[in-house]
């Protein structure tokens, strides 16, 4: 799949706010099945963009947790959001 630098930037950005691969494919107006194959191929640029966006968000939350600047309820909500994203990613890949 040929993805322009702009589309890769969009993938990273949307992944950083925990959009699922299917949702990103719809926004980019690309074939969902082909896109899902790209994001599970760890040698593809789409995979790297998805991971980079997700990991940036994960890093932010982990820094917040370790700096103890957020309330426990907020930490729980952030962890739940990350868990939901991971579950959605697995569902998308397996569908």
pLDDT per residue over 73-83, tens digit each? Answer: 666 777 777 77
DSSP for 46-66 reads HHHHHHHHHHHHHHHHHHHHH
Asked which of 3-7, 27-31, 44-48, 62-66 is least confident by mean pLDDT, the reply is: 62-66
Range of the domain at 54: 5-94
Closest CA to 73 of 40, 81, 44: 81
The pLDDT confidence band at residue 61, using thresholds 50, 70 and 90, is confident
Q: What percent of the chain has pLDDT over 90?
A: 56
The pLDDT of residue 73 is: 67
Q: In this structure, are residues 88 and 20 in contact, taking their beta carbons and an 8 Å threshold?
A: yes
| Total number of domains in the chain | 1
The tokens for 62 are 């982990």
Summarize the confidence of residues 46-66 as an average pLDDT.
87
| Contacts with 92 (C-beta within 8 Å, 6 or more apart), sequence order | 20, 21, 22, 36
- HSE-up of 37 (CA within 13 Å, CB side)? 7
Provide the mean pLDDT of the chain: 85
Query: How would residue 24 be classed by pLDDT, with cut points 50, 70 and 90?
Result: very high
Distance, CA of 45 to CA of 25 (rounded, Å): 14
């Amino acid at each position: 799949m040929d993805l322009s630098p702009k589309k890769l930037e969009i993938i990273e950005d949307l992944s950083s706010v925990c959009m699922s691969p299917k949702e990103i494919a719809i926004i980019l107006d690309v074939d969902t099945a082909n896109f899902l194959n790209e994001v599970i191929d760890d040698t593809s640029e789409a995979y790297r963009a998805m991971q980079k966006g997700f990991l940036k968000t994960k890093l932010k939350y982990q820094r917040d947790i370790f700096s103890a600047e957020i309330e426990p309820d907020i930490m729980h909500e952030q962890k739940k959001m990350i868990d939901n994203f991971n579950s959605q990613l697995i569902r998308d890949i397996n569908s």
